[in-house]
Structure 1
Amino acid sequence: MYVCICNAVTEDDVHGCMASGCRTAKEVKAACGFKPACGTCTKRIHTMVSEYRTASELADALTGGPADLAAVPDRGPEPIIAETAETLEGGAASQTAA
């Protein structure tokens, strides 16, 4: 849905700006490239920013704060483990364990 028809800015555009770090309506408007003198949508943007910040703060409170981001090491492809038909069918392997 459009938040600002004048600038063709959608809710997805606003959410993307907030996910990228915008924390105020002014920052969102700058990141979305709003033209000067457009302001009929400012109330809606303020509401969206407030909802986003509240949800973010709630998530941080429930999880103990924002998670530190770290790169996941590249371990390469996982090895393929071949299983015998007896193991899959519950044959000799499962009988010896019992």
Structure 2
Amino acid sequence: MYVCMCFAVCDRQIRSCIGRGARTVEEVGEATEAGTGCGGCQDHIDTLLTASLAPSELSELPATA
């Protein structure tokens, strides 16, 4: 799915960029140009960053039998 229509950047490209070490919307923009046009996709990029970088809430739950 396209995240950035200005530069035709899809979610897979952004996730790959995050996997290679991007930690901010600006870093994603530098690597992919996403978010550097009109800026309308920056919130979506931020959401992808948060989802990729935040620890899973499930991993913090106690294990039960």
TM-score normalised by the chain length of structure 1: 0.52
Which ranges of structure 1 fall in alignment gaps of 5 or more residues?
63-98
What SS does the corresponding residue of 1:38 show, helix, strand or coil? coil
* Residue 77 of structure 1: aligned partner: none
When the two chains are superposed, the root-mean-square deviation of aligned CA atoms in Å is: 2.0
Identity %: 33
What per-residue deviation string (whole Å, max 9, x for no partner) do you get for residues 28-64 of structure 1? Answer: 111102474420000100111011111xx34xx77xx
Pick 1 or 2: higher relative contact order, CA cutoff 8 A, min separation 6: 2
Whichever of the two has the greater Rg, that structure is 1
Q: Count the aligned residue pairs.
A: 58
Runs of 4 or more, structure 1, over 2 Å off, are 33-38
For 1:39 and 1:22, the matched residues in 2 are separated by 18
TM-score normalised by the chain length of structure 2: 0.76
Cα 1:18–1:36 change in 2 (3 A) is closer
